[in-house]
Structure 1
Amino acid sequence: MKQQPALYGGQAVIEGVMIRGRRTVALACRKPNGDIYRYREALRSPLVRSRLARLPFVRGVVVLWESLDYGIRMLMRSAEVQLDQDEQLGTGGNTLIMGAALGGALLLFIGVPYLATSLARAMIPSSVVLNVTEGLIRLALLVGYLVAISFLPDVRRVFAYHGAEHMTIHAFEHGDPLTPERIEPYPTAHPRCGTAFLLL
């Protein structure tokens, strides 16, 4: 039986990308002095060790959790690469920042739409219309947020790395050498991009 080709994925981080394979997660990001920082670690996935974790619904939950875990850890590692040793935040600082970001996201994308539709409940008696309205408010907030942050130079750079990661995955999947000249013709969008989940 022919072996299935390995599917790779990844995400942009600060000044670089993280790529996840079947057994390894790798990170490459540019240091402030221009050197490239490289890091990799073996995947410790329950998908490899447990049949239960590979069941259809369970597998999706496991993959989502792993993606969040590795993604956040590699993002924080890439942020630390940009700082001097005496500027490092440490675990407590990272936890505080991530907690504040999560709280802000919950407030903006869940709290605001809920509050808006709660206030409109007297004017809109249909629960279906209220749910659709809440969804549209969330979508508008998300798109507005993405448009607003895209004006920040640092975020634009992360978006560029995200596109470059997609181009690299395309080139790899087509069997092309991973050189800038061979990667450049590929599109910056990829059909398996996890960012599409934001719209669901």
Structure 2
Amino acid sequence: MSSAAEQSAAPEPLRLGGMALRNGLLVHGPTHWAAAVRRTDGTIAATSGRKPRLRGPLQSVPGARGVIRLGEAMVVIPLVKRALPEAKLPWQDRRLLGAAAATSLATAVLRRRMRGTGGEVALAGLSLLPSLMALGSGDLAAYHGVEHKAISAYERGGADAREAAKEHDRCGSHLMAPMLASNIAGTALLKRAVDKPGALAGAAVSLASVGLAVEVFAWSERHESSIGARLLRRPGYELQRVIGTREPTETQLDVGRAALAEILRAEGVAPAG
């Protein structure tokens, strides 16, 4: 058995994030990314690479830093696809693309007819439908569960991923409620200030909503034991529990273990446990 001194000297686990793929998992580490997928022949393919970093004074500015971090995460996606062509991205689904196109058309039509805060709420809810469809699809929801279980097991010192919860406190689903609320409020204020706001103004409101949502997310993590943080996280947790995640199979968990092993190798860290 390890002594108390040895346990206290153990390094802190890496702060990991991730994104579910339709046939695997993408994991973000501090300086690298790693991905593992299940090929059509049943084998597992894994690879990794260094994460691009956007430098500049804005990376420490509240609001802007969240948009920058999300932008860096999005830049990784084509790198993953180039290094691992077998990877199936979340939106690589004909039904989802069709739903996104239909939602975009319906939003454009309804925007001309609906007015007031109630209309903005309805339009914002409609815009979420493609994302909710993607989250609820079988393999993607299962690999979302793999993401949470693999990272949670690692953070608990190498515990068995099968026993870990399929919901996680750092899931991006916790961004949806503050992003939706800030987007509705920002759009309403913009329409009061400008008679006919253009696309550029709308994009600015969307970016500001993302930045605010990330700051709320960070605040909730710093004050995780507070009542306010628990209330802010509740919608995202319920979204994960009901729609966004499913209990994965053992073969799907094996893909998660491969992705975790690859990110630890790329970051030069020994596996926990």
**2:118 equivalent to 1:112:** no
**Pair 1:186–1:136, CA change in 2 (3 A):** farther
Select which of 46, 49, 53 maps to 1:41.
49
**2:138 equivalent to 1:156:** yes
**Pair 1:8–1:168, CA change in 2 (3 A):** same
Which AA in structure 2 matches 1:10?
Answer: G
Please name the residue that 1:81 is paired with: 86
**2:32 equivalent to 1:24:** yes
Select which of 120, 125, 129 maps to 1:139.
125
1:116 and 1:195 map into 2 onto residues whose CA distance is 26
1:160 and 1:139 map into 2 onto residues whose CA distance is 24
Please name the residue that 1:63 is paired with: 69
Q: Displacement, 1:172?
A: 1.3
Q: Does the Cα contact within 8 Å between 1:24 and 1:40 map onto a contact in 2?
A: yes
Structure-to-structure mapping, 1:186-197, within 5 angstroms: 186-197=164-175
Deviating more after overlay: 139-148 vs 155-164: 139-148
Please name the residue that 1:165 is paired with: 147
TM-score (norm 1): 0.65
Query: How many residue pairs are counted as aligned between the two chains?
Result: 165
CA RMSD of superposed structures (Å): 3.6
Q: Secondary structure at the match of 1:19?
A: strand
Q: Does the Cα contact within 8 Å between 1:13 and 1:74 map onto a contact in 2?
A: no
Which AA in structure 1 matches 2:125?
Answer: L
1:160 and 1:189 map into 2 onto residues whose CA distance is 11
**Pair 1:193–1:119, CA change in 2 (3 A):** same
Which AA in structure 1 matches 2:172?
Answer: G
Which AA in structure 1 matches 2:21?
Answer: V
**2:16 equivalent to 1:8:** yes
1:29 and 1:137 map into 2 onto residues whose CA distance is 36
Q: Does the Cα contact within 8 Å between 2:20 and 2:147 map onto a contact in 1?
A: yes
Q: Does the Cα contact within 8 Å between 2:24 and 2:37 map onto a contact in 1?
A: yes
Which AA in structure 2 matches 1:159?
Answer: A
Q: Displacement, 1:142?
A: 2.5
Q: Secondary structure at the match of 1:184?
A: helix
Q: Does the Cα contact within 8 Å between 1:16 and 1:29 map onto a contact in 2?
A: yes
Q: Which runs of 5+ in 1 are unaligned?
A: 84-93, 122-129
Q: Secondary structure at the match of 1:192?
A: coil
2:44 and 2:36 map into 1 onto residues whose CA distance is 6
Q: Secondary structure at the match of 1:11?
A: strand
Q: Which structure's relative contact order is higher, taking Cα pairs within 8 Å and 6+ residues apart?
A: 2
Q: Secondary structure at the match of 1:136?
A: helix
**2:135 equivalent to 1:176:** no
